[in-house]
Amino acid sequence: MLNIVLFGPPGAGKGTQSQNLIEKFGLIHLSTGDILRGEIANGTPLGVEAKKLMDKGFLVPDEVVIGMIANKLDLNQDAKGFIFDGFPRTVAQAEALDQLLSSKNNAISGMVALEVNEEELEKRLLIRGKDSGRPDDQNPAIIKKRVQEYTTKTAQVANFYKAQNKFYAVGGIGSISEIFESIVNVVTQL
Ligand code: AMP
């Protein structure tokens, strides 16, 4: 199985590059942000609770997203592999993911980290907010909070995969196709 963690701060291009990767490698895309927005759109109790945190730029609790991923792994037993997009976002989530995969005799193949500076991220997110209508992309204060959550809780997840020799950094500035080519160079070696 090919299991990729696509990593990077909000606005780094994870969603866009995930779409390219699932097409090229025939993988299943698991985005916890998309799953949560689906719960919100369906008005589920989980969605109602998650929205309160997401609209403020805070992470939702680990057990919520871990449960969602466990469920998706069970539902896709025959998959060739997965792209994890926006997950894991804490070390506890990364540990839980390792356990979930090893219980199925699987493992993460590698983390691909998209590197983009903060100024460029804010610019991209404000543009995305206009097109996507995502409330958390439209307010500079909330974007700042999300970047802060990334810096304090998520950035360390890179060290978790570095310690396993599974970390690969890719420059996230340039054209979508150039960046995709760099990602493919990494992924084909995994
Ligand atoms: P995203 O679409 O990945 O930018 O996620 C949007 C929002 O959903 C985040 O700002 C968090 O509030 C929440 N979220 C998504 N994935 C996770 C995760 N793995 N852990 C905690 N919160 C998450």
CATH of the domain at 182: 3.40.50.300
Rounded Cα distance between 62 and 72, Å, is 16
Pocket test for ligand 1, best of 16, 34, 53, 60 (most atoms within 8 A of CB): 60
Rounded Cα distance between 25 and 47, Å, is 31
Q: What is the pLDDT of residue 33?
A: 96
Q: What is the pLDDT of residue 25?
A: 96
Distance in Å, CA 54 to ligand 1 centroid: 7
Instruction: Write the residue with the smallest CA distance to atom 19 of ligand 1.
Output: 87
Question: Using a 6 Å cutoff on CB, does residue 84 contact ligand 1?
Answer: no
Asked whether the predicted pLDDT for residue 132 surpasses 90, the reply is no
Distance in Å, CA 162 to ligand 1 centroid: 22
Q: What is the pLDDT of residue 160?
A: 98
Q: pTM of the predicted model, to two decimals?
A: 0.94
Question: Using a 6 Å cutoff on CB, does residue 59 contact ligand 1?
Answer: yes
Number of separate domains in the chain: 1
Q: With H, G, I as helix, E, B as strand and everything else as coil, classify residue 173.
A: coil
Distance in Å, CA 57 to ligand 1 centroid: 8
Question: Using a 6 Å cutoff on CB, does residue 11 contact ligand 1?
Answer: no
> Which has the closest alpha carbon to 126: 140, 112, 141?
140
Question: Using a 6 Å cutoff on CB, does residue 92 contact ligand 1?
Answer: no
Asked whether the predicted pLDDT for residue 81 surpasses 90, the reply is yes
Instruction: Write the residue with the smallest CA distance to atom 17 of ligand 1.
Output: 32
What is the band of 134 on the pLDDT scale with cuts at 50, 70, 90?
confident
Question: Using a 6 Å cutoff on CB, does residue 33 contact ligand 1?
Answer: yes
Structural domain containing residue 43: 2-189
The torsion defined by the Cα of 137, 140, 143 and 149, in degrees rounded to 10, comes to -160
